[in-house]
A and B are shown apart, each in its own frame.
Chain A
Amino acid sequence: MTETLLEVTGLVAGHGRKQVLHGIDLRVEAGEIVTLMGHNGAGKTTAIRSVLGAVRPRGGSIAIGGRDTTRDPVRRIVAAGTALIPSERFVFPDLSVHDNLMLGAANAPAGSDREERLATVQQLFPILQERAGQLAGSFSGGQQRMVSLAMALMARPRLLLLDEPSLGLAPSVVETIFGRLRELADTERLGILLLEQNVKQALQIADRAYVLRSGSMILEESAELMRQRADYWDLF
């Protein structure tokens, strides 16, 4: 029996006067990688920030792990096992890698041992141990992405929200990172919601796909069917 980690129903959200999402539904099960696609400005980032509690929904509901979290503050949602990696400025550039990783666990669920977690995470990305004292801002884009992913994992999340992790990275680096993500979903039964413009690579690891356009969901399909499409221009 699959556990529904994330259930979004009729989500309406925006910032200031801007209404970005006009009522969307989506679902992520444990062990699943779901990709949310769409052009820039379609509302993907607003969607995951609403899930995290960083944006207050104006309508609809969000449930994480079966519990209604629509009005919960970020601290509580993070402490309960959700982590978000933003698309830009996703590390603390003037802090060391070690500091960055420890900050990832700043609000970890009670009972997690940070040192143990650090060791696990450093095994996943060995470069982090080698360069623990180096400032995160001095790393290359791909390495910074790894730092940000490691930060998210430090908090032992059950639900991982990733905003365009492939942005600005070489395809080989993206493959490595995406490979790790698939491993995590399979072995640790994480639920991953992946926001991507890089449709092809996202579909390599995804189970299901949603397409958002100008704030409305226009498609939900299995990744297999998506992969078989000739092109994706009409979705953007």
Chain B
Amino acid sequence: MWVNYLDQALLMAALAVSVNLLVGYAGQVSVAHAAFAGIGGYTIASLAGKHEWPFLLALVAAVLFAAAVGTLIGLIALGLPEEFLILMTMAFSLALIGVFATFESLGGIMGITGISGLSLFGFELDGPRDWLVPCAVTLVLVFAICHRIGESPYGRVLKGVREDVVVTQALGKNAFAYKVGIFAITSGLAGLVGGVYSGWLGQATPSAFSFPLAMTVFAMVIVGGNANLFGSVLAGVALTMIEPALRVGLGVASTDAALVQLVLYGALLVLVMILRPQGLLAERFRHVEVPDVDPVVPARTTPREPAAYDAAEVVLRAEHLSKRYGGIVAAKDISLELRRGTITALVGPNGAGKTTAFNLLTGVAVPDTGSVTLNGRELVGLRPDRIVSAGLVRTFQDVRLLNRLTCLENVMLAVPHQEGERLDALFRPGRGIAQADRAVAEQAMEWLAFVGMAGEANTPVDALSYGQTKMVNIARTLATQADVLLLDEPASGVDSMWLDRMVSLVADTRAAGRTICLVEHNLEVVRELADHTYFMELGEITAAGTVDELTSSARLAEAYFGAQ
């Protein structure tokens, strides 16, 4: 009897591991995994059971089938906000199980039973003992795949999608592809587990893959620990073993044992959420040997000569950008130039459209008219992550670092062209990915050292002060290797000490050859840094020049401080 429970526990653990990759790492709250397992189970039942295909071949079919449906769900999920994802996956899984229960060819309510005579690699799979090895292998296989993906650069991007999908996209990652990809992978894995489960169970029935199963596995993931696969294994095995433990250990009647198990599940979920919301085992973070680099504050560089501005070539050119939202003109005929190696400032009263301008340049908003060229290349119409690869990156006014990750991981996320972000590369044998990742970590450390935060590389972001997060944000932005940086209020919200540090840092960034455009309200900062300034009001650029030229204009004073 125990072997039977062990078989089940191994499979439940495997399912929990795959769900953790989707829910824990990627943050996609889906409850459809039982249905995907059901697809796998029914595939086995009809192909291997009824039509007597070889078990292995049927398993492959199960995986492919489940992955295909998973891809479809992923595509649909993209168009819905987070709260609808739960509803969507709920509706889908209930619909699917209902469909299974209705088709007579799939056995109707009773399902397909009496699957037997399965064998793998010549071994007959008859009793629970025979199934021990296949179940264990399934768990190991699923674990290995999920671990590889989760703890790789690909997994890092998944965490980015989980924490803040907008920022992850703004750092140059195609969040779209990652979301669909992870749905496909985890549903395929669920299909595998479901297929083995049906083989072991000897049947595929609607009740075997019902909604309560989905809830149970969900509980295992949450209790075991978000984004901790060992936790899922632990919880999967432990929670499955509650029922036999109750029966044997406490002598609870078998009908009651299942119910008591459910009560315990529920109580456990509530307890964990109240006492330890992140789950039993904590998420693990990438730690790196911090090299002996002194966390030096970069020295102040001398201000640039005004003449140098005119001599520099134009890197980014925006021409006649316009945008309307309904009746509101957010941007009207905006034309601006950013010159290589200079700092340009965008100033103006509240509501002038500065953030809209940034959005139009970076593809977050698509302009109604106008064009944006970067080094001669047209940016309008490109996906936001493509624009980052082309060399244009922006920061957010509220910083938006990924709180649950370390400083180092935050910066590493921004590094482009990482081998480990490609799924096909992940499963090639050899240490290639590990080496590539080490190189990425070293790169990230250099940027952290540049901003003076190397000592905090392994500190989770939520332990930093606000000024420190602003520094790390700059490091992250620099790590994208983009030529042009759009900085949204880099000096805001910090006291004078940090303000000075930030001003020095921005100047150093210019000295390093980058092109910068910043939105700033503190005109002192603009005076210190800007080589050229644009003045915006009501969606238009109405003046340009040096800060002194602008401030000597009476008209501008009126626009900024109000008419008499």
Contact = CB atoms under 8 A, between A and B. Distances in A.
Question: Do these two chains really belong together in a complex?
Answer: yes
A67 interface: no
A198 interface: yes
Given A18-B466, A39-B522, A41-B489, A214 B495 contact: yes
Contacts of A89: none
Contacts of A19: 466, 493-495
Interface string A202-236: 10000000000111100000000000000111001
A50 interface: no
Contacts of B351: 167-168
Contact of B562 (A16, A20, A166, A216): A166
Given A197-B349, A231-B551, A39 B521 contact: yes
Contacts of A18: 466, 493-494
Interface in B221-266: none
A40 interface: yes
Interface residues of B, number: 27
Contact of B561 (A40, A41, A197): A197
Contacts of B489: 41
B496 A216 contact: yes
Given A19-B466, A198-B562, A39 B523 contact: yes
Contact of B466 (A16, A164, A168, A202): A16
B549 to A, nearest CB: 12
Given A17-B466, A41-B493, A197 B551 contact: no
Interface in B401-421: none
Contacts of A197: 349-350, 560-562
B254 to A, nearest CB: 52
A67 to B, nearest CB: 30
A185 B418 CA distance: 63
Contacts of B561: 197-200, 231-232
B487 to A, nearest CB: 14
B265 to A, nearest CB: 35
A214 B563 contact: no
B562 A200 contact: yes
Nearest to B468: A17
Contacts, number: 78
Interface in B421-465: 464-465
B564 interface: yes
A18 B493 CA distance: 6
Contacts of B523: 39, 233, 236
A114 B466 CA distance: 44
Interface in B487-532: 489, 491-496, 499, 521-524
Nearest to B492: A41
B521 A41 contact: yes
A167 B562 CA distance: 11
Contacts of A215: 495
Nearest to A20: B493
B350 A164 contact: yes
B489 to A, nearest CB: 6
Nearest to A164: B350
A22 interface: yes
Given A22-B495, A200-B558, A213-B524, 7 more contacts: A14-B493, A19-B493, A19-B495, A39-B523, A199-B561, A214-B491, A232-B557
27 contacts: A14-B466, A16-B466, A17-B464, A18-B466, A19-B466, A22-B495, A40-B521, A41-B489, A41-B493, A42-B522, A167-B350, A167-B351, A168-B351, A197-B560, A197-B561, A198-B561, A200-B562, A213-B524, A214-B499, A215-B495, A216-B495, A216-B496, A231-B557, A232-B557, A236-B521, A236-B522, A236-B560
Top 7 A-B pairs, shortest CB-CB distance: A198-B562, A41-B492, A199-B561, A39-B521, A40-B521, A200-B562, A233-B551
Interface of B: 349-351, 464-466, 469, 489, 491-496, 499, 521-524, 551, 557-558, 560-564
